[in-house]
């Protein structure tokens, strides 16, 4: 039987207790490990969700940009066509075509009958 | 003891390290506070400037329509060529390629391309063909930006009324200038992210108020077909008489709406740089003239309204020469006794002068003002003149006489046609209007102009008397017989006034005019035709009256106004019309 001094006993006691405490702590960590994994998975899922939303909004942004450009072009095209139509319907042009190409003339008073409504 | 000492030392070291970490953490915390809180706004802007950008949307200038919705002025986008001179490798070769396409001198293009500025316009608003040709050259350092270009699809039609815009789409003349703030629209910015390729990505979508940059549209009272008729006939009169210029206005006498306002010489606002700036002026409102005999209508109407003269009263017209103080008033014929109707019919200056003496100059002045002379009409067009009349205290007996037959007073053509409209509509002076409606880009009405009666000038009875007298001017024996329109009764008055030249009245320079309304008893049109300095056919009855007739005839036809007296119909045409229902019935059966 080995004799330990008081300080040795204290040292052994402290270390044994500490190891027991560590072992106990390690046991707790293992229990929570699954929980941590789950938490991590949720966080990762949220991260990927955020990433997906970001990419999707970017894609929508591109579509809006394209549609906006197309809309602007169509509006301008529409305006150009309206201006062209107005130019084609100008009174001087129509009169020239009516007289020179179609051989039309302004009707005389005797050729006009006013029909009362 | 040694172990204990080493353990204490370890604990102390750990404490030091922990303190070090604490200090570092505190510094990091303070720095984070500095960056995240104190410098937050500045840094956010800085980072956003790296990837965020704004897209400036050009304002869309509103369209100007005639009363039937035909486009008179519209804007479309065109491209402008710019250069970053520093990026062009061979400027000489680039200039040689660009100059012929742009139809510019080589040295001008070369000067632009060698400019020390980082950005220069080479040519604003190039044609689509030019843009295509330049793109095909693939010259580095050149680019295109979109700009708004104003087009006038009806070309010369109503050019002086519409005016035009400058290179930056700012209104410079006419309606374009007067309504610039209403039709120009506002540029606005859309915020977008910028990707690695510099493309815009609207991650926040587009703001819903995208329409705000669109200027309002204007709907004018002008009718492009009536305007065309007025311009065509006025041009014919000016050419025929070899005149300097001409003006014609067609007004709806009941509403004061201007249906046409023609000024000759014409110009095409799409190519205004190629025309004389003198042609840009809207003479209908900016030029004043002495109206001559067309003014007698108002001095006589005033006297009848006041009861100082009755239509049956007789006046001795001094056989053509009437002395007032040191002045002599002449008639163009030698007339003896004339009643009021014949004074108008034969356009006697002496008769008009005597009638105004009976009226009194205070009353004459009052009525002239009530008819709208010597004051702006208030039509919404820029640079309108008010006209001039000597002050009452400076009005001598001779001046009063001269005013009564349209000398010593100046008016604008618009004032004159508005005053004739008041005779036509039974005595009401209407506010002349050129803009019927202002609408926004969605079609909602922003402002609707309704007819405004400024005041009653004369009674319906007096207006009726004047109408009958003015009919006599166009009847056989009158000065305005050439203003007659087949099938319709015309009421009007001729005018031939000498122009002031070198301090006195010129014998060669005159203003020939005719003002009147038709059909006389149910007026639809009030028209004034004014020919400035005709070299041939110098009298109003010779050149302006026939132009009035042709104009009125074509416009009444266009408006389907039934004639006062139905003309003899072509029997073949009537037969054809009677058989029309049968033809339609047969079509239905088929």
Q: pLDDT (tens digit, 9 = 90+) per residue, B503-531?
A: 888 988 999 999 999 999 999 999 999 99
- Quote the pLDDT of residue B560: 87
Question: Least CB-CB distance to B205: which of A64, A107, A111?
Answer: A64
With the C-alpha atoms ordered B354, B359, B360, B366, is the resulting torsion angle positive or negative? negative
Separation in Å, CA of A82 to nearest CA in chain B: 8
The radius of gyration of chain B's CA atoms, rounded to the nearest angstrom, is 36
Q: Calculate the alpha carbon distances from B303 to A25, B313, B393, B466, B497 in Å.
A: 121, 11, 21, 11, 22
User: Would the pLDDT of B583 be above 50?
Assistant: no
* CA–CA gap between residue B383 and residue B386 (Å, rounded): 10
Q: pLDDT (tens digit, 9 = 90+) per residue, B394-403?
A: 899 899 999 9
Domain B224-558 has CATH 3.40.50.300: no
User: Would the pLDDT of A97 be above 90?
Assistant: yes
Asked if residue A84 belongs to a domain, the reply is yes
Q: Which position has the higher pLDDT, B203 or B347? A: B347
Exposure string of B162-171, with b = 16+ CB inside 10 Å and e = fewer, is: bbbbeeebeb
Which one of the listed residues B293, B299, B348, B421 is annotated catalytic? B293
* CA–CA gap between residue B302 and residue B180 (Å, rounded): 40
**Do the Cβ atoms of B396 and B325 come closer than 8 Å?**
yes
Which residues have C-beta within 8 Å of that of residue B585, sequence separation ≥ 6? none
- B442: confidence class by pLDDT, cuts 50, 70, 90: confident
Asked if residue A40 belongs to a domain, the reply is yes
Is residue B245 annotated as a catalytic residue, yes or no? no
Separation in Å, CA of A111 to nearest CA in chain B: 6
Asked if residue A90 belongs to a domain, the reply is yes
Q: Which of A7-16, B216-225, B501-510 has the highest mean pLDDT?
A: B216-225
User: Would the pLDDT of A13 be above 90?
Assistant: no
Widest CA span in chain B: 155
Average pLDDT over residues B200-204: 65
Q: What is the average pLDDT score of chain A?
A: 82
Average pLDDT over residues A7-25: 64
The DSSP output letter for B376 is -
User: Residue B203, Cα to own-chain centre: how many angstroms?
Assistant: 44
Q: Calculate the alpha carbon distances from B34 to B25, B31, B45, B48, B287 in Å.
A: 14, 5, 16, 19, 71
- B212: confidence class by pLDDT, cuts 50, 70, 90: low
Secondary structure class of A98 (helix, strand, coil):
helix
Asked if residue A115 belongs to a domain, the reply is no
* CA–CA gap between residue B121 and residue B106 (Å, rounded): 15
- Quote the pLDDT of residue B50: 74
State whether B153 and A76 contact (CB < 8 Å).
no
Secondary structure class of B534 (helix, strand, coil):
coil
Asked if residue A111 belongs to a domain, the reply is no
H/E segment holding residue B161: helix B159-162
Domain B77-149 has CATH 2.40.320.10: no
Q: Which position has the higher pLDDT, B109 or B194? A: B109
Could you state, in order of their start, the residue ranges of all structural domains in chain B? 77-149, 224-558
User: Would the pLDDT of B299 be above 70?
Assistant: yes
- B291: confidence class by pLDDT, cuts 50, 70, 90: very high
- Residues of B whose CB is below 8 A from A107: 557
Q: What percent of chain B has pLDDT over 70?
A: 90
* CA–CA gap between residue B402 and residue B503 (Å, rounded): 17
Q: pLDDT (tens digit, 9 = 90+) per residue, A51-85?
A: 999 899 888 888 988 898 898 889 889 989 999 99
User: Would the pLDDT of B445 be above 70?
Assistant: yes
Q: Which residue of B has its CA nearest to A90?
A: B154
Domain that holds residue A32: 6-105
- Quote the pLDDT of residue B577: 45
Question: Least CB-CB distance to B486: which of A76, A91, A109?
Answer: A109
* CA–CA gap between residue B351 and residue B329 (Å, rounded): 10
Q: Which of B43-57, B199-213, B549-563 has the highest mean pLDDT?
A: B549-563
Angle at B114 between CA B108 and CA B118, to 5 degrees: 115
- A16: confidence class by pLDDT, cuts 50, 70, 90: low
State whether B206 and A109 contact (CB < 8 Å).
no
Domains identified in chain A, total number: 1
Asked if residue A114 belongs to a domain, the reply is no
Q: pLDDT (tens digit, 9 = 90+) per residue, B32-76?
A: 889 888 888 888 888 777 777 766 666 789 999 999 999 999 998
Q: What percent of chain A has pLDDT over 70?
A: 79
Separation in Å, CA of B487 to nearest CA in chain A: 8
CB-count exposure of residue B150 (10 Å: 0-12, 13-18, 19+): buried
Q: Which position has the higher pLDDT, B135 or B568? A: B135
State whether A110 and B75 contact (CB < 8 Å).
no
- A3: confidence class by pLDDT, cuts 50, 70, 90: low
Separation in Å, CA of A38 to nearest CA in chain B: 30
Average pLDDT over residues B341-363: 94
- Quote the pLDDT of residue B450: 95
User: Would the pLDDT of B411 be above 90?
Assistant: yes
Flag the least confident range among B140-149, B262-271, B435-444: B140-149
User: Would the pLDDT of B339 be above 90?
Assistant: yes
Best A109, A114, A115 member to test B by mutation, with max B CBs in 10 Å, is A109
- B120: confidence class by pLDDT, cuts 50, 70, 90: confident
User: Would the pLDDT of B589 be above 50?
Assistant: no
B 206-235 residues inside an 8 A Cβ radius of A: 206, 224-225, 228, 232
User: Would the pLDDT of A40 be above 70?
Assistant: yes
* CA–CA gap between residue A67 and residue A81 (Å, rounded): 21
Q: What percent of chain B has pLDDT over 90?
A: 66
């Amino acid at each position: 039987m080995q004799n330990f001094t008081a300080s040795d006993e204290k040292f052994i006691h402290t270390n044994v207790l500490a190891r027991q405490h560590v072992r106990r702590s390690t046991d707790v960590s293992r229990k929570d490990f699954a929980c941590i994994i789950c938490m991590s998975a949720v966080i990762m899922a949220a991260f990927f969700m955020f990433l997906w939303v970001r990419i999707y909004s970017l894609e929508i942004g591109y579509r809006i940009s394209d549609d906006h450009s197309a809309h602007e072009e169509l509006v301008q095209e529409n305006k150009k066509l309206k201006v062209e139509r107005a130019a084609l319907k100008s009174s001087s042009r129509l009169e020239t075509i009516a007289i020179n190409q179609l051989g039309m003339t302004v009707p005389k008073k005797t050729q006009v009958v006013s029909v009362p409504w | 003891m040694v172990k204990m000492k080493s353990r204490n030392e370890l604990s102390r070291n750990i404490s030091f390290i922990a303190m070090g970490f604490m200090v570092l953490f505190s510094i990091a915390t303070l720095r984070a506070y500095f960056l995240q809180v104190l410098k937050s706004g500045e840094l956010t802007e800085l980072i956003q400037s790296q990837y965020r950008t704004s897209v400036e949307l050009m304002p869309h200038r509103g369209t100007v329509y005639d009363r039937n919705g035909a486009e008179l002025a519209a804007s479309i986008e065109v491209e402008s060529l710019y250069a970053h001179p520093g990026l062009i490798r061979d400027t000489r070769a680039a200039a040689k390629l660009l100059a012929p396409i742009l139809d510019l001198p080589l040295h001008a293009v070369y000067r632009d391309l060698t400019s020390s500025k980082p950005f220069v316009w080479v040519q604003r608003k190039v044609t689509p063909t030019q843009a295509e040709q330049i793109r095909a050259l693939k010259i580095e350092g050149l680019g295109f930006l979109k700009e708004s270009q104003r087009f006038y699809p009806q070309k010369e039609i109503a050019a002086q009324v519409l005016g035009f815009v400058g290179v930056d789409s700012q209104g410079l003349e006419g309606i374009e200038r007067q309504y610039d703030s209403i039709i120009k629209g506002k540029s606005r910015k859309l915020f977008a992210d910028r990707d690695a390729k510099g493309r815009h990505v609207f991650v926040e979508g587009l703001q819903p108020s995208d329409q705000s940059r669109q200027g309002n549209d204007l709907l004018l009272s002008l009718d492009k077909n009536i305007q065309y008729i007025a311009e065509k006939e006025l041009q014919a009169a000016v050419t025929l008489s070899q005149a300097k210029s001409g003006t014609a206005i067609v007004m709806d006498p009941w509403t004061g709406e201007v249906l046409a306002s023609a000024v000759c010489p014409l110009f095409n606002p799409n190519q205004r740089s190629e025309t004389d700036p003198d042609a840009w002026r809207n003479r209908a409102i900016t030029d004043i003239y002495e109206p001559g005999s067309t003014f007698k209508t108002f001095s006589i109407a005033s006297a009848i309204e006041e009861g100082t003269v009755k239509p049956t009263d007789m006046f001795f017209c001094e056989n053509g020469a009437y002395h007032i103080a040191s002045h002599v008033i002449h008639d163009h014929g030698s007339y003896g006794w004339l009643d009021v109707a014949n004074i108008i019919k034969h356009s006697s200056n002496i008769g008009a002068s005597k009638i105004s003496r009976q009226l009194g100059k205070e009353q004459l002045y009052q009525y002239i003002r009530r008819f709208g002379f010597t004051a702006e009409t208030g039509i919404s067009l820029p640079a309108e003149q008010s006209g001039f009349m000597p002050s009452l205290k400076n009005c001598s007996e001779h001046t009063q006489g001269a005013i009564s037959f349209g000398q010593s007073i100046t008016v604008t053509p618009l004032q004159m046609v508005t005053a004739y409209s008041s005779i036509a509509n039974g005595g009401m002076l209407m506010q002349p209007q050129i803009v019927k409606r202002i609408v926004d880009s969605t079609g909602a009405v922003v402002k609707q102009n309704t007819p405004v009666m400024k005041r009653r000038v004369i009674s319906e009875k007096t207006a009726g008397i004047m109408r009958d007298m003015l009919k006599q001017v166009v009847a056989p024996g009158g000065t305005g017989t050439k203003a007659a329109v087949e099938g319709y009764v015309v009421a009007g008055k001729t005018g031939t006034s000498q122009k002031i030249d070198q301090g006195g009245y010129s014998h060669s320079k005159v203003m020939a005019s005719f003002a009147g309304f038709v059909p006389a008893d149910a007026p639809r049109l009030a028209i004034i035709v004014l020919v400035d300095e005709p070299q041939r056919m110098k009298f109003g009855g010779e050149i302006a009256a026939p132009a009035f007739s042709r104009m009125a005839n074509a416009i009444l036809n266009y408006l389907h106004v039934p004639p006062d007296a139905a003309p003899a119909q072509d029997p073949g045409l009537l037969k054809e019309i009677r058989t029309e229902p049968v033809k339609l019935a047969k079509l239905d059966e088929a």
